[in-house]
């Protein structure tokens, strides 16, 4: 028995005629760059998240870069972020010549601990950038309150949480700028790279749109330095079809995540299942547990045809790439501890109960 870690094929089978129809339309009209599907997708996504502006971009990484460029972040600046995330979150801060200041995580949610943020703020701090790890938002009200006191913008790295809610509001619409990714395995994934920015701020939206196209305000007139950060029309067309199915998939993800936790907890093992705050819903971009003897468990699952992954084995402040720019003011023991113990199980909206039972049985014994 071999189980997929994620299953993009079943989703494609379910949407095949609509996807092919949408792709064909793009091939017929031929506007491969910034075609009408891009604007249509932006409206659809802005509506879904409940914000004024959506700017579709080339990836979740470029999305973070454009957000920080729009805020004018550069050399000498500091950005407060989490050490327990995908590299891109810290990487784009460093790429702009700014310093990532890593603040330790809450051991329950694995997201940045708001109570520790204020100690890390200095006169050089220019922004706070939490990430919504595994599909659950950080405590954004608490983070926004600290940011307001210090007049700082907040960028939510919502690459893993598109479709999740925080106190009834949608992820990516919870702060100054929301950012997400359409990498194929993310909760809303395309068939290639893609991402999007969200904001209610008209000026920031205009600036981010300009940065997306080489800082251009009119054709061949460049008011600022930008990048080539556009989303392909073909990806927008594919994502428009996938949006029709997003809510169903979000419900499935949540049900499958909760079913995992229910059965793992029922066995009374010493496995730590995901903790979801009562005011949050998670989209379970990953279903991640904490476990003793991780390497042995991974080996056992793999032998039984169950793929697993570790998100993430090395926190950012311990990555070779951050050896020099890293500025530590506080200890980051929680992230280091989590990195040594977490493990993600197969997770996708099309998982059958049989497959899930088999995974749980193999994990904790029948
Ligand atoms: C995937 C991811 C990104 C980067 O998105 P890409 O589209 O792959 O560039 C950034 N931040 C987090 C937290 C991610 O999970």
Beta-strand relationship, 53-57 and 195-199: antiparallel
- Which tokens in the block code for residue 28? 């017929």
221 Cα–ligand 1 center, Å: 31
Residue 1 resides in a domain: no
Give the H/E segment covering residue 339.
helix 333-339
Point out the ligand 1 atom lying closest to the alpha carbon of residue 89. Answer: 11
Residue 296 resides in a domain: yes
Residue 174: its pLDDT value, please? 98
Q: Per-residue pLDDT for the chain (366 aa), expressed as one digit of tens each?
A: 689 999 999 999 999 999 999 999 999 999 999 999 999 999 999 999 999 999 999 999 999 999 999 999 999 999 999 999 999 999 999 999 999 999 999 999 999 999 999 999 999 999 999 999 999 999 999 999 999 999 999 999 999 999 999 999 999 999 999 999 999 999 999 999 999 999 999 999 999 999 999 999 999 999 999 999 999 999 999 999 999 999 999 999 999 999 999 999 998 778 999 999 999 999 999 999 999 999 999 999 999 999 999 999 999 999 998 875 455 556 899 999 999 999 999 999 999 999 999 999 999 986
User: Is the CB of 312 within 6 Å of ligand 1?
Assistant: no
Residue 322: its pLDDT value, please? 85
Residue 172 resides in a domain: yes
Residue 165 DSSP SS3: strand
User: Is the CB of 171 within 6 Å of ligand 1?
Assistant: no
Give the count of beta carbons closer than 10 Å to the beta carbon of residue 236: 27
Residue 133 near residue 109, CB atoms below 8 Å: yes
134 Cβ contact list (under 8 Å, min separation 6): 110, 160, 274, 282, 284, 285, 286, 287, 288, 311, 344
User: Is the CB of 89 within 6 Å of ligand 1?
Assistant: yes
Q: Which of 57, 319, 352, 78 is nearest to 198 (CA)?
A: 57
Give the count of beta carbons closer than 10 Å to the beta carbon of residue 9: 10
User: Is the CB of 71 within 6 Å of ligand 1?
Assistant: no
Crossing angle of helices 202-212/60-70, nearest 10°? 120
Residue 267 near residue 218, CB atoms below 8 Å: no
Q: For atom 7 of ligand 1, which residue has the closest CA?
A: 60
Residue 162 resides in a domain: yes
Give the H/E segment covering residue 216.
strand 216-218
Residue 99: its pLDDT value, please? 94
For the whole model, what pTM was predicted? 0.97
Q: Which domain holds residue 302?
A: 246-364
Is the same domain home to 231 and 291?
A: no
Three-state SS for 72-106 is: CCCCCCEEEECCCCCCHHHHHHHHCCCEEEECCEC
Point out the ligand 1 atom lying closest to the alpha carbon of residue 160. Answer: 15
Question: Which CATH number fits the domain that encloses residue 317?
Answer: 3.90.1150.10
Residue 142: its pLDDT value, please? 98
User: Is the CB of 138 within 6 Å of ligand 1?
Assistant: no
Instruction: Give how many domains the chain has, as a whole number.
Output: 2
Domain boundary among 187, 206, 239: 239
- Which tokens in the block code for residue 176? 């100054």
CA atoms within 13 A on the CB side of 235: 23
User: Is the CB of 82 within 6 Å of ligand 1?
Assistant: no
């Amino acid at each position: 028995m071999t189980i997929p870690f994620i299953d993009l094929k079943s989703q494609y089978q379910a949407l095949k005629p609509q996807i092919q129809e949408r792709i064909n339309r793009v091939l017929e009209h031929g506007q491969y760059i910034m075609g009408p599907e891009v604007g249509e997708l932006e409206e659809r996504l802005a509506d879904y998240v409940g914000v004024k502006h959506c700017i579709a971009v080339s990836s979740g990484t470029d999305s973070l870069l454009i957000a920080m460029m729009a805020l004018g972040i550069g050399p000498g600046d500091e950005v407060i972020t989490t050490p327990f995330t995908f590299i891109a979150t810290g990487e784009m801060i460093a790429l702009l010549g700014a310093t990532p200041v890593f603040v330790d995580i809450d051991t329950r949610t694995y997201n940045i601990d708001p109570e520790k943020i204020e100690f890390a703020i200095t006169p050089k701090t220019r922004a706070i950038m939490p990430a919504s790890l595994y599909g659950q938002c950080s405590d954004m009200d608490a983070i926004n309150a600290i940011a307001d006191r210090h007049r700082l913008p907040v960028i939510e790295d919502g690459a893993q949480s598109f479709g999740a809610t925080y106190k009834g509001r949608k992820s990516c619409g919870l702060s100054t700028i929301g950012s997400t990714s359409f990498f194929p395995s993310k909760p809303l994934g395309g068939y290639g790279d893609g991402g999007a920015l969200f904001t209610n701020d008209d000026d920031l939206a205009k600036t981010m749109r300009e940065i997306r196209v080489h800082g251009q305000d009119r054709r061949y007139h460049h008011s600022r330095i930008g990048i080539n950060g556009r989303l392909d029309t073909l990806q927008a067309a594919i994502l428009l079809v996938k949006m029709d199915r997003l809510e169903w998939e979000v419900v499935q993800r949540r049900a499958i995540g909760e079913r995992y936790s229910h059965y793992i907890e029922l066995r009374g093992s010493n496995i730590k299942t995901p903790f979801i705050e009562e005011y949050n819903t998670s989209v379970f971009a990953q279903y991640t547990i904490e476990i003793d003897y991780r390497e042995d468990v991974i080996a056992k699952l793999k032998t039984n045809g169950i793929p697993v992954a570790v998100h993430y084995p090395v926190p950012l402040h311990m990555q070779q790439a951050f050896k020099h720019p890293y500025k530590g003011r506080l200890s980051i023991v929680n992230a280091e501890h989590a990195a040594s113990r977490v493990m993600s199980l197969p997770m996708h909206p099309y998982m059958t109960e049989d497959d899930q039972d088999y995974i749980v049985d193999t994990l904790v014994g029948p």
